Structure 1
Amino acid sequence: MSGHPSDLVTEAFEAQRDRLRAVAYRVLGSHADAEDVVQEAWMRLVRQDEATITNLAGWLTTVVGRISLDVLRSRQAHPEAARGQELPDLVVTPADHPMPDEQAVLAESVGLALLVVLDSLTPGERLAFVLHDMFAVPFQEIGTILGKSADAAKMIASRARRKVHARDRPAGPGREHREVVQAFRAAAVDGDFAALLRVLDPDVKLTVDTSTGVVVTLGATQVAAGARMFSGEAARHRPVLVNGVPGHMSWRPDGTPLSVIAFTVSAGRISAIHIVVDPVKLAAIPLSAPA
């Protein structure tokens, strides 16, 4: 291709860009990483002899899948370098306001609850599940990306699907969810350890996104022991939706944002808590403190 793809190929790539970005985002949970993956796919296309490509859409899907798989494996091998990847890009809206259509689609497609489940999969399982179940990519193509046969890819996707479906379907922003979260907050404020354990799933995962990195705590006992962070010095707070999941955003007395907390509830207990205290990420949320 000699560094300059034809106008026809460039046009075809641009027609595929949104789909490729969607694939990478659902695999990786990060808009920034998804953009990087799509840009890398473009650079590889530039270097490719276009005469060797018989199906551009399939070729690009394969390339994006391989690059995304490399990113997942790198995160797994170097968790300290996966800064910020424990949480997806946040869409925070007031709980009493309807979300714009685009944000609603984002929240539905990669909500916090789904991310918790996807994080429990191996890189191969996650890729196979997303490509097949969300984008209907044939197992032959998935096998090519994974370096396995179509039958092996089918087994990997099936195993991933069982893991996803084995998790109790998280409660939506309904009354049960609100009641569980309210019980947790009350127990945290009161320092009631026993009450905290009653509303926490034994395998609850707490993820805190700070300015210096992501801190993960596993298990109800450990999370309950650190619950004083939920009853801190916030002067003002308001209920919000975080990627479609009910939560709270808090501000200091001077009006600067303190934290965003989102709760995933499954089978009447809190199965995941996501907290953002990174000032850079908080500053990017266009919400002001309640009067």
Structure 2
Amino acid sequence: MTDQTDLSEEFEAYRARLLAIATRVLGSTADAQDVVQEAWLRLARQEPGSIENLGGWLTTVVGRLSIDAIRSRTTKGEVSYEEQFRDPIVTPDDADASQSPEDLAIQADALGLALMVVLGSLRPEERLAFVLHDMFAVPFGEIGQIIDKSADAAKMAASRARRKVQGAPRPTSGRHEQRRVVDAFLAAARDGDFDGLLEVLDPDLRWELHGSRDVTVTRGRKDLLRALARGRDSGVTARRVLVGGQPGILAWSPSGAPLTLMACTVENGRMTRVASLTDGARLERLDLPPRDPEESDA
């Protein structure tokens, strides 16, 4: 590394990987961006030529900063609500090559919401060990150095995490079927087709409404159907998206402000779970697709 320009260029070559690691460990794009920015600031303070393995050094810094961020959440009492619906990665369901390399790197193995919830229940070291080894092929020896433990201890931490992750629910429907169900849901909601909605909503539907202060959970279709009727009457528009790589819907108010982000679980041709994020402040900080799909290529 010679000067600040060269340093910045070398860092940018690692940015997508670092952001992907931090996003998976923290489950929050905003927190991940903060961690990566702090890693850059620390790198900029290093003496030129003092780092032999820049990629390893940056991975270590991002890993440790991510652990510190998780522990800080716990200290501040933020985990209980934030972990229930952590900031997801939201992309158009018709994503194509017009996306940036950074977007594609994050989306390539995007986590489903069920897996994100499982990761959120792990200890910080377990979460980091699992993400680094199983998703980014970092050797246990290097992981041990990052978490200040032996390679064997790092391997055990990843193994404990893996057992929990393997028990997470898996989608029983393929992507084509998921899209069909979401499209049918959107069409029925737009047209006020009550029977059509009943066709795609499971009778024992679990609806989680994540507001600005609390989370409300209901069983059955009644409450969601009422909310959909209100939205149709008020001119709400919506489009299909991917939420953490899984089927979802993003809705806007008539003024164009993001109104609701819905993450959907599709099983056997019906939606069995819908998690709706309606907290305006959290929606504003997410990197959301545009309301008009034509703007995706802009």
Q: What's the TM-score, normalizing by structure 2?
A: 0.70
CA distance in 1, matches of 2:8, 2:258: 43
Question: Structure 1 pair 261/36, CA: closer, same or farther in 2 (3 Å)?
Answer: same
CA distance in 1, matches of 2:144, 2:32: 21
Match of 1:234 among 224, 231, 235: 231
Deviation at 1:277, TM superposition (A): 1.6
Instruction: Between 70-79 and 249-258, report the one with greater CA deviation.
Output: 249-258
Question: Which runs of 5 or more structure 2 residues have no equivalent in the other structure?
Answer: 294-298
Question: Structure 1 pair 179/31, CA: closer, same or farther in 2 (3 Å)?
Answer: closer
Deviation at 1:255, TM superposition (A): 6.9
**Residue identity opposite 2:24 in structure 1:** R
Question: Structure 1 pair 267/161, CA: closer, same or farther in 2 (3 Å)?
Answer: farther
Superposition pairs of residues 193-212 of structure 1, within 5 angstroms: 196-197=203-204, 199-200=205-206, 206=208, 208=210, 210=211, 212=212
Partner of 1:160: 161
| SS at structure 1 position matched to 2:121 | coil
Question: Structure 1 pair 252/44, CA: closer, same or farther in 2 (3 Å)?
Answer: closer
Aligned sequence identity (%): 42
Verify the 8 A CA contact 1:29 1:89 in the aligned structure 2. Answer: yes
Deviation at 1:79, TM superposition (A): 3.9
CA distance in 2, matches of 1:77, 1:271: 34
Question: Which runs of 5 or more structure 1 residues have no equivalent in the other structure?
Answer: none
2:112 maps to 1:115: no
CA distance in 1, matches of 2:221, 2:123: 29
Deviation at 1:196, TM superposition (A): 4.1
Q: What's the TM-score, normalizing by structure 1?
A: 0.71
Deviation at 1:129, TM superposition (A): 1.1
Verify the 8 A CA contact 2:181 2:271 in the aligned structure 1. Answer: no
The number of residue pairs the alignment matches comes to 265
**Residue identity opposite 2:90 in structure 1:** V
Question: Structure 1 pair 80/120, CA: closer, same or farther in 2 (3 Å)?
Answer: closer
**Residue identity opposite 1:91 in structure 2:** V
CA distance in 2, matches of 1:64, 1:107: 19
Partner of 1:75: 73
CA distance in 1, matches of 2:127, 2:19: 16
Partner of 1:287: 291
| SS at structure 2 position matched to 1:54 | coil
- Deviation track 1:235-256 (CA, whole Å, cap 9, x = no partner) reads 1554512334333344557776
CA distance in 2, matches of 1:34, 1:252: 28
2:96 maps to 1:100: yes
CA distance in 2, matches of 1:256, 1:49: 46
Superposition pairs of residues 251-290 of structure 1, within 5 angstroms: 258-265=259-266, 273-279=274-280, 281=283, 285-287=289-291
CA distance in 2, matches of 1:254, 1:65: 40
**Residue identity opposite 2:40 in structure 1:** W
CA distance in 2, matches of 1:39, 1:269: 41
